[in-house]
Amino acid sequence: MTKKKVLQLYRDILRNVKYLPETDARFVKEWARSDFERYRHETNSDNIQMLLSQGKVQLRTLENSVILSKAKFG
């Protein structure tokens, strides 16, 4: 179940990236990939839950940026 949540979070981040300007999108993709790779072998369930929570907060921030970007640039 946790693996499914992690993959869904990663996909949601990448889904939102396509609405960003190219340079921002590249940065966010690289950041997401490096963070997910860094914690790929984490086994402590408490740490995994904390990382998922932090990732969801960052996803909401990204979604808000995308909304603002769409409003500003149409």
pLDDT digits (tens, 9 = 90+) for 42-56: 999 999 999 999 999
* pTM of the complete model: 0.87
CB 13 within 8 A of CB 62: yes
Amino acid at 33: R
Q: What's the rounded Cα separation, in Å, for the pair 30 and 68?
A: 22
**Structural domain tally of the chain?**
1
Instruction: Give φ, ψ of 18 to 5 degrees.
Output: -65, -15
Residue 61 vs residues 1, 41, 42, 66: alpha-carbon distances, Å: 24, 26, 24, 9
Query: What's the domain range around 66?
Result: 2-73
Lowest mean pLDDT among 17-21, 24-28, 46-50: 17-21
